Amino acid sequence: MCELFGMSSRLPADVSVSLEKLADHGGHAGPHRDGWGLAYYSGKDAQIVREPSAASESACVRFIEEQRLASRCVVGHIRRATVGANTLANTQPFARELGGRMHVFAHNGELPGVFDDPRVGLGRFRPIGDTDSERAFCWLLARFEALGAGARVPSLAARLEIVVELARTLTELGPAANFLFGDGDALFAHAHRRQLAEGAEIMPPGLHLLCRSCRQETPLVDSAALQIRGGHEQRVVLLASVPLTDEPWEPLAEGEIVVLQHGRIAARAQPLRAGARTM
């Protein structure tokens, strides 16, 4: 299966060390050599780089690492193709504009039921490629547009309710439905199940989480917590399919949703049980 990576920070930070470790899984230390992509948010927009080839062999990945691009929100994906050809159109993360903000989506898992389930209404959105992941993204966008696509961002509670509904349904449509979704204001993450090795059982955890805080005076060397820009306290939350360091990453529960804003956990939800709780 594919691997996901996400970052939310209070101040702009670069993910060079995390990217190096993730890219190594993309065809060298791992089998995910069918494509890779990164989305770096800058306000309402996002700079997106994708290639339908192995991240571990990419000169573009090396360039990004050297340039140390900084952002407050990053979404990354390395692909092992299961549905859809090995093409740019099927390479994640996917992105669309809605309400004057760039929306970004990356998925890990298999969702065969998403192609013919009558609940999956795409509205005006259409996939460019032929993956189950992009179809799920178009469905999510259609639900968000119905919520209101004006310049004003809907409340976090209203957006979370839609993500919870989507996550609950996706878990019925396939064995694994881990995803990251950024809307230019928050980063939503849903953890489900994943397959650790070929032929292994598909089981939780589907995502892991790591929270960090630090000051500029205590730089982090060889750390996935990233370079700090500015003299204020930095907060960083990292998400990954598999831990990228030896630190105590928190495995998320099956079906758990985490919402990140400005380097903190803004909300958590458990759609398989009771509803949402905010922090």
Q: Is the pLDDT of residue 276 over 50?
A: no
Reported residue count of the chain is 279
25-66 pLDDT, tens per residue?
A: 876 566 676 899 999 999 999 999 999 999 888 999 999 989
Nearest Cα neighbor of 40 from 67, 58, 79 is: 67
Here the tokens at position 16 are: 């060079």
The predicted structure's pLDDT at residue 27: 63
249 CB neighbour count, 10 Å cutoff: 20
82 Cβ neighbours under 8 A, 6+ residues apart: 1, 110
Sorted by where each begins, the domain ranges of the chain are 3-278
Nearest Cα neighbor of 266 from 185, 193, 164, 166 is: 185
3-class SS of residue 171: helix
Q: Model pTM?
A: 0.90
CATH number of 3-278: 3.60.20.10
189-209 pLDDT, tens per residue?
A: 999 999 876 667 899 999 999
Greater confidence (84 vs 179) lies with 179
pLDDT-derived band of residue 222, with 50, 70 and 90 as boundaries?
A: very low
Mean pLDDT of 251-262: 96
